[in-house]
Amino acid sequence: MKTRPIMITGTTRVYGVLADPIHHVKTPQVMNALFERHGVNGVLVPLHVRPDGLARALDGLRALANVGGFIATVPHKPAMLDLCDDVTEAARRIGAVNCVRREADGRMVGAMLDGIGFVEGLRSAGIDPKGWRAYVAGAGGAASAMAFALAEAGVSHLTIANRTEAKARALAERVAETYPALTLSTDAGTVAGHDLVVNGTSVGMAEGDGAPLDTDQLQPNMVVAEAIMQPVMTPLLTAAQARGCRIQPGLPMLESQIVLMARHMGAIA
Ligand code: ATR
């Protein structure tokens, strides 16, 4: 992506992305390109915040009157839920916040847009999961967001598979409360029989990682999607492609939710 010299003046609104580690974040390029396209006098910068400094960082951002909001990413999404002054209904259901608007009085309003962004990314690739059987690996912040968004998008069945099965069961129960008509399973061993397979774990992010599920069960008629943005081709996507599946990398999820984030932060109408 091309970079540009940003004209920063005294009236430029400042936005941030809070992460730890920070070096891999893609949001600054993607959001600043969007600001440029929309003629927004704003800039989004990386802010390296360690977990033990998150509450202090938030207090600092409250005090900065030209900050419009920020994006929270790994590992801050669950902790941000309790630190915000107000959160959307979806964020509360999912149990995590990934985008925060700073109101003029310093109040912080959190939203969770990962899941909507994921489904929008699928739809813009011409994939509509309505009526499909979906398998989500993981039960943390990203997986919860995707599970709720897939339920909202009308999948007919949802398998939630996690290393720690108790967390998968707890998530399945929360999804069932809101979507009682959906059939749910937490059987990690059955990738076969699904139309959509999604990695919502962090497995595949680190060098030397494998895939988070049994890739021998992948069939060519399946769509295999990733929440991980970096690397773009994870071991799961590489195996899925080799087995003839249609693949959906994680980066489009960010590209389709960046507009939603800019809107939530009040940067664009
Ligand atoms: P995020 O906000 O990115 O979703 P998270 O909430 O910490 O991060 O969730 C990480 C997910 O990846 C969890 O589902 C975790 O499984 P556990 O609940 O059992 O911890 C999963 N995960 C992380 N490392 C894993 C590994 N080596 N093998 C399998 N699952 C793993």
Domain boundaries, the chain: 13-113+255-264, 115-253
Instruction: Say if ligand 1 is within 6 A of residue 201 CB.
Output: yes
pLDDT tens string 233-256: 999 999 999 999 999 999 877 888
pLDDT at 142: 87
| CB distance 102 to 45 below 8 Å | no
Instruction: Say if ligand 1 is within 6 A of residue 167 CB.
Output: yes
How is domain 13-113+255-264 classified at the CATH fold level? Rossmann fold (3.40.50)
Instruction: Say if ligand 1 is within 6 A of residue 22 CB.
Output: no
Confidence check: pLDDT of 73 > 70: yes
d(CA 164, CA 230): 24
Give the model's confidence band at 5: pLDDT under 50 very low, under 70 low, under 90 confident, else very high.
low
Instruction: Say if ligand 1 is within 6 A of residue 228 CB.
Output: no
Do 115-253 and 13-113+255-264 fall under one CATH topology? yes
| CB distance 146 to 136 below 8 Å | yes
Confidence check: pLDDT of 90 > 70: yes
Give the model's confidence band at 2: pLDDT under 50 very low, under 70 low, under 90 confident, else very high.
low
Confidence check: pLDDT of 4 > 70: no
Ligand 1 centroid–CA 167 distance in Å is 10
ipTM over 0.90: yes
Ligand 1 centroid–CA 76 distance in Å is 14
pTM: 0.86
Mean pLDDT in residue range 68-76? 95
pLDDT tens string 97-156: 999 999 999 999 999 999 999 999 999 999 999 999 999 999 988 899 999 999 999 999
pLDDT at 50: 98
Taking the CA of residue 201 as reference, the ligand 1 atom at the shortest distance is 12
Q: What is the CATH number of domain 115-253?
A: 3.40.50.720
Query: What is the percent of the chain where pLDDT is above 70?
Result: 98
Taking the CA of residue 227 as reference, the ligand 1 atom at the shortest distance is 3
d(CA 149, CA 144): 8
d(CA 70, CA 79): 14
Ligand 1 pocket, mutate which of 148, 160, 162, 201 (most atoms under 8 A from CB): 201
Strand partners, 246: 223
Residues tagged active-site? 77
Place of tokens 């988070």: 212
- As given in the structure block, the two tokens for residue 63 are 């005090």
pLDDT at 179: 96
Confidence check: pLDDT of 227 > 70: yes
What distance separates the 2 farthest-apart alpha carbons in the chain?
Answer: 57
Extract the runs of DSSP E, i.e. beta strands, from the chain: 13-19, 42-48, 67-72, 86-87, 99-102, 108-111, 133-137, 157-161, 183-185, 196-199, 223-226, 246-248
Nearest alpha carbon, ligand 1 atom 6 = 140
**Phi, psi dihedrals of residue 256, rounded to the nearest 5°:** -80, -20
Helix 141-152 vs helix 114-124: crossing angle, to nearest 10? 60
**Phi, psi dihedrals of residue 223, rounded to the nearest 5°:** -100, 130
pLDDT at 202: 92
pLDDT at 1: 52
User: Collapsing DSSP states into helix, strand and coil, what is residue 150?
Assistant: helix
| CB distance 96 to 236 below 8 Å | no
d(CA 144, CA 142): 6
